[in-house]
A and B are shown apart, each in its own frame.
Chain A
């Protein structure tokens, strides 16, 4: 009894061992083909060689299954490779197969009967990447020369032939030219006929004098020096005056030092008349700003009064504001 069981097991193992390679072959069987569109060409004519590999759905879906198309060199025996297309996949709905497809364009410059050699497709299957190959059949191609009848005389070279021309050959250029002329004409017409821009004059809503007066008033109300912020008080005071000079007399006072400012007010007669007041105000302000001088309360008040007096003295009369500015500008120039 035990002996029979052993024999049966050995028999089954042998049977499985024999059947296994067939099952693998069944899995690997790939239908490959190489087909030429013609078997006869003249020298230099081209042949379209179709390389196809047909896969079953199981093979197509198997991640371990891989088919490698033949890699053709630039020239085969008697044939030159002109182009190669990339690999394409065609799904056949009716028979549930998948066809991989590549077209290789060949040509030949040797007359005679030649064979396109068999194409070798590499097939890789299984998790262990077992390699196999499938080979196509060779294809015979006749490469013919052009028949030349040497018995006939040579013909002379033809003269240059005049090609008859038509205006319609140039319609595109004519249309572009006409378009450009029209656009240019339109632009010229537009620029000539458009209404001239009236410069927008930004009339200040407030005169420099009024602005400075208001700022001085605000400065007084803020009581900066009374709160101990002397530096800020004099910085603001001189800034108000400098801004006023800049707007009223076109003197770049904000970018000038005290000494330069005193020099540059000379051409502005009205302002120059207040030179001494301005000098003493600027001197105290410079000391307060740059030397931490603490002027007395009287000096603070005095500086404010001087600033107001300078403003008042140089206050433009109605209609004279522009004149003053213009004079200053002329003198500056």
Chain B
């Protein structure tokens, strides 16, 4: 059914009220996390758009603290899995163990049975463990023995990888990386922010603990509204133009990018770009998507979906450079 202007106005008002929790949530997280507003915003986009987030950044940038605080603020269950080379799929999803008293096998659930999962240094575990996690991410269910368990909603995986240490790591294959809605690159805090971090850590009693300000059911309700956010055909075309420009740059007068791109964004890129744009519009308390929303989340949705050629790597061209060129060439509606 097509939305009318009054529908959109009503939706806009509804979203304006319903999205108020986003500011509250950001404020609550701000109690313990200094800076990193960008990362927190992206976590919320992932949460609202039902997408998982891959974080790339050096250790010590409050990745664990952020997701732990987020789960506390939403009153959700949190698990942290440290990925190591000797980790097994059963360590993540769970296994069947023999109960001598009952004389039967019983299921022991793994740490993945939580609302928020921090898969720390995901590239340190071999492919089979990565696959076990990524399958759960995709299907949102786990099979142990003959039993299949639906994972509780909201279910958000936040995986991290360290960009500087590559020795002894198992790089995520392109197909696996594609399952993450966002790949967020986190930088260091500013000098001022770091000063506050020091003070906060030297005097932990001064900072108040995180309170549960919303329930997981509120997130599920918010997701329904995110789905309803109006996206005009012009915005859809804009999204398609961006994704297609990564595949066929020559069609957008970007012939110079052709030898630098090994492969462009998949249809999943278009879907995720649309979802993330809707979630971003929701967070900005709007009932409709504007081109700014698409541009704002474009880098995080697309950076891991644009494959670079050896030529690009030799010339130190990054996927961000390519996306910038594309955004500067594709006409905004």
Contact = CB atoms under 8 A, between A and B. Distances in A.
A36 interface: no
A292 interface: yes
B330 A290 contact: no
B328 A255 contact: yes
Interface in B273-290: 286-290
A260 B234 CA distance: 18
B332 A256 contact: yes
A252 B328 contact: yes
B329 A291 contact: no
B332 A290 contact: no
A292 B12 contact: no
A254 B252 CA distance: 14
Contact of B287 (A258, A289, A291, A294): A291
Contact of B327 (A255, A258, A286, A289): A255
Given A252-B328, A289-B333, A290-B235, A257 B290 contact: yes
Nearest to B329: A255
Contact of A292 (B4, B235, B328, B329): B4
Given A255-B327, A257-B291, A289 B230 contact: no
Nearest to A295: B5
Contacts of B214: none
Interface in B259-306: 286-292, 295
Contacts of B9: 293
Nearest to B333: A289
Interface in A280-331: 286, 289-294
B297 to A, nearest CB: 13
Contacts of A286: 290
Given A254-B331, A255-B329, A292 B8 contact: yes
Contacts of B328: 252, 255
Contact of B232 (A256, A257, A290): A290
Interface residues of B, number: 25
A27 to B, nearest CB: 74
A289 B232 contact: yes
Chain A contact residues: helix, strand, loop or mixed: helix
B3 interface: yes
A291 B333 CA distance: 13
Nearest to B326: A255
Contact of B234 (A255, A290, A293): A290
A277 B155 CA distance: 46
A259 interface: yes
Contact of A291 (B12, B291, B295): B12
Contact of A257 (B5, B286, B287, B332): B332
A255 B8 contact: no
Contacts of A235: 234, 333
Interface in A247-271: 252, 254-260
Contacts of B290: 257-258, 286, 290
A254 B291 CA distance: 12
Given A254-B331, A289-B232, A293-B5, 15 more contacts: A252-B328, A255-B329, A255-B331, A255-B332, A256-B332, A257-B292, A258-B291, A258-B292, A260-B295, A286-B290, A290-B235, A290-B288, A292-B3, A292-B4, A293-B8
Interface of B: 3-5, 8-9, 12, 230, 232, 234-235, 286-292, 295, 327-333
Interface of A: 235, 252, 254-260, 286, 289-294
